[in-house]
Amino acid sequence: MLNIGPQELLLILIVALIVVGPQRLPELSRQIGKGLRELRKVQDEVKGTAKLDLDEPKPPAPRKPASPTAPAVHRTPRPAPTASEPGADEPAQPPAEQAG
């Protein structure tokens, strides 16, 4: 991540102590630590979500049940045969009535 040696770290702490002051330095350090912790949490969540999305295929969406008013199967009507198609010279027969 960062290549900060002990000498550089000591210099940063001395400058921070001079700029912020000894009373507010511990409070500022805690706030920075909390902010970094929250940032790492968010990074881990995003990585986990991205890994899950790439590893697992999405399950199929659940099918909605048909509403009671909608027809169970939607079929388009078949067009009448033209003169060039076989069976065009046969007259159309009405459906047989069921005895009931």
Q: Does residue 46 form part of some domain?
A: yes
Work out how many domains the chain is built from and give that number.
1
Q: Does residue 4 form part of some domain?
A: no
Which residue segment(s) compose the domain that 51 sits in? 32-56
Question: CA-CA distance, 97 to 94, in Å (whole number)?
Answer: 9
Taking only the tens of pLDDT, the chain with its 100 residues reads 568 898 998 998 899 889 988 888 889 889 999 999 999 999 999 888 877 766 666 667 777 766 666 555 556 777 776 766 555 555 556 566 665 4
Q: Tell me how far CA of residue 7 lies from CA of 3, 16, 26, 59, in angstroms.
A: 11, 14, 20, 55
Helix runs in 25-84, H state only: 25-55
Q: Does residue 62 form part of some domain?
A: no
Q: Does residue 48 form part of some domain?
A: yes
